[in-house]
Structure 1
Amino acid sequence: MSHQLTFADSEFSTKRRQTRKEIFLSRMEQILPWQNMVEVIEPFYPKAGNGRRPYPLETMLRIHCMQHWYNLSDGAMEDALYEIASMRLFARLSRIAPCRIAPPS
Structure 2
Amino acid sequence: MFKGSIAWRNERMKHADLPLELGNRRTRKLALLDEMERVVPCKDFVVLITPHASRKTKGRKPFSTMAMLRIHLLQQWFGLSDVAMEEALCDVPLCREFAGLGGMSRLPERASILRFRHFLEQHRLAGQILQTVMPNWARKVICSRKVRPSM
CA distance in 1 between partners of 2:42 and 2:53 (Å): 15
Do 1:80 and 1:87's aligned partners in 2 also have CA atoms closer than 8 Å? yes
- Runs of 4 or more, structure 1, over 2 Å off, are 10-16
CA distance in 2 between partners of 1:53 and 1:18 (Å): 35
| CA radius of gyration, larger in | 2
1:89 aligns with 2:97: yes
Alignment CA distance shift 1:47-1:15 (3 Å): farther
Counterpart of 2:58 in 1: which secondary structure?
Answer: coil
Unaligned runs of 5+ in 2: 1-13, 104-151
1:54 aligns with 2:62: yes
How far did residue 16 of structure 1 move? Answer: 2.3
Alignment CA distance shift 1:7-1:66 (3 Å): closer
Alignment CA distance shift 1:58-1:29 (3 Å): same
How far did residue 46 of structure 1 move? Answer: 3.0
For residue 38 of structure 1, what is the aligned residue in structure 2?
A: 46
| TM-score, length-scaled by structure 1 | 0.75
AA at the equivalent of 1:39: V
Higher relative contact order (CA 8 A, sep 6+): 1
Alignment CA distance shift 1:62-1:77 (3 Å): same
Larger helix percent: 2
AA at the equivalent of 1:90: F
How far did residue 15 of structure 1 move? Answer: 3.8
CA distance in 1 between partners of 2:21 and 2:69 (Å): 24
For residue 100 of structure 1, what is the aligned residue in structure 2?
A: none
Alignment CA distance shift 1:13-1:92 (3 Å): farther
CA distance in 2 between partners of 1:63 and 1:47 (Å): 20
Do 1:47 and 1:54's aligned partners in 2 also have CA atoms closer than 8 Å? no
Count of aligned pairs between the two proteins: 90
AA at the equivalent of 2:85: M
AA at the equivalent of 1:24: L
Matched-pair identity in %: 37
Unaligned runs of 5+ in 1: 96-105
How far did residue 53 of structure 1 move? Answer: 1.6
